Amino acid sequence: MLKPIINPDLYHGKMKNKNFFEGWYFKLVSKDMKHSIAVIPGIFMDSSNERSHSFIQFLNGDNLDYSYIRYDCNLFYSNPNNLSITIKNNNFSLNGININLNEQGLSISGKIKFKNLFKWPDTLLNPGSMGFYNYLRFMQCYSQVCAMNMDLVGALTINGKALDFTGGKGYIEKNWGKAFPFSWNWVQCNTFNNIEASLSCSIGYIPFLGSNFRGFLIGLLVDKEFYKFTTINRSKLIIKQHLSDITLNVCNNKYLLEIRTVTNKNMYMMLNGPRDNKMIPLVQETLSGTVFVKLTDRQENIIFKDECYCAGIEYGGIQRLVIDVLK
């Protein structure tokens, strides 16, 4: 069981048969930023196995189309040595995705290769983006950034429409555990205007040893330089919320980071997530957000300032648990 701890990209459910979920989130944006999609392969096991199943979730940011395709658990396969998930005729890995899906009125076919992946920097003591929390066996939900940034080569045909993703950008993340947090916010973007950059931001209200705390994982990649703001490195965070948008200010001992989201409330989709021993609609997400990012040092010298389109922005649960100021 040590292998998936030191390599959190791997499947954690090999020895599980109930009260468990795991899902991998693949987000793809075309070079011209006219097309943004996300595909989520995964598996869910309830306490009695009556509702246990594997699944593929598909989000189309172009037309706000969302699909949840259920499969038998025995159609789910995970490679024990690397990130490679197969569900029926569909494969998802760090090398790319190969989809041949025709279910419930949704047709997707094609292949996209991933190149020039940038991984979240880690160590044996702090594996993956969650660090030493991966060694703890009692967490409600775990998270891992599998690829902060990557280049895309290939195309998909979605319901008869061919979409070319060559030259576009991709991102991979995953979650696993018993259920989603009581409350969370999530922001991801890597299609900035002027500079090669990628942002991943996760904030959750988490039960821990009979109490609760607000944990966060924020990473900013700017031209191969990585800046990390996390609960583990004792960064300080303040979040202000107005409707579905947030302004976030976070700092560590060297840098200050400001993140501001701008979204259209009509561009959100409702996704399924694990809660109360079942998969239910509880995740609100858009793939067409705008994010403004500013990074400075402690002397207020600007290191990075830019805006990003086709951003993934998500929230769920009781927002007052993670937000400092509600407007």
- Give the whole-angstrom CA distance, residue 176 versus residue 144: 9
Backbone phi, psi, residue 73, to 5°: -60, -30
Question: What digits encode the pLDDT tens for the residues 55-97?
Answer: 999 999 999 999 999 999 999 999 999 999 999 999 999 999 9
At residue 1, the pLDDT reads 64
Q: What is the mean pLDDT of residues 116-141?
A: 94
Mean pLDDT of the 272-300 span: 96
Please give the average per-residue pLDDT across 148-153, as a whole number: 98
**Residue 243 pLDDT grade (very low, low, confident, very high; cuts 50, 70, 90):** confident
d(CA 20, CA 140): 10
Which pTM was predicted? 0.97
Q: DSSP secondary-structure letter at 3?
A: H
Phi-psi region of 154 (alpha: psi -120 to 50; beta: other; left: phi over 0): left
Which pLDDT band, with edges at 50, 70 and 90, does 30 fall under?
very high
Hey, which residues does 36 pair with through a beta bridge? 29
Please give the tally of structural domains in the chain.
1
> What local confidence, expressed as pLDDT, does residue 327 receive?
65
215: which DSSP letter?
Answer: E
Residue 192 domain boundaries: 3-326
| CA proximity to 29, closest of 264, 159, 198 | 198
Q: How many angstroms separate the Cα of 239 from the Cα of each of 248, 258, 290, 313, 324?
A: 5, 10, 17, 15, 5
Say what the pLDDT of residue 210 is: 84
Q: What is the pLDDT of residues 38-62, one digit of tens each?
A: 999 999 999 998 999 999 999 999 9
Residues 6 or more apart in contact with residue 183 via CB below 8 angstroms: 204, 205, 316, 317, 318, 319, 320, 321, 322
Mean pLDDT over the full length of the chain: 95
Q: Which two tokens stand for residue 309?
A: 């389109």
Measure CA 49 to chain center: 26
With beta carbons less than 8 A apart as the criterion, state whether 200 and 216 touch: no
**pLDDT value, residue 320:** 82
Residue 326 has pLDDT above 80, yes or no: no
For residue 192, give the DSSP letter: B
For residues 181-196, give the mean pLDDT.
Answer: 95
d(CA 74, CA 88): 9
Mean pLDDT of 116-142: 94
Query: Parallel, antiparallel, or unpaired: how do β-strands 96-103 and 106-118 relate?
Result: antiparallel
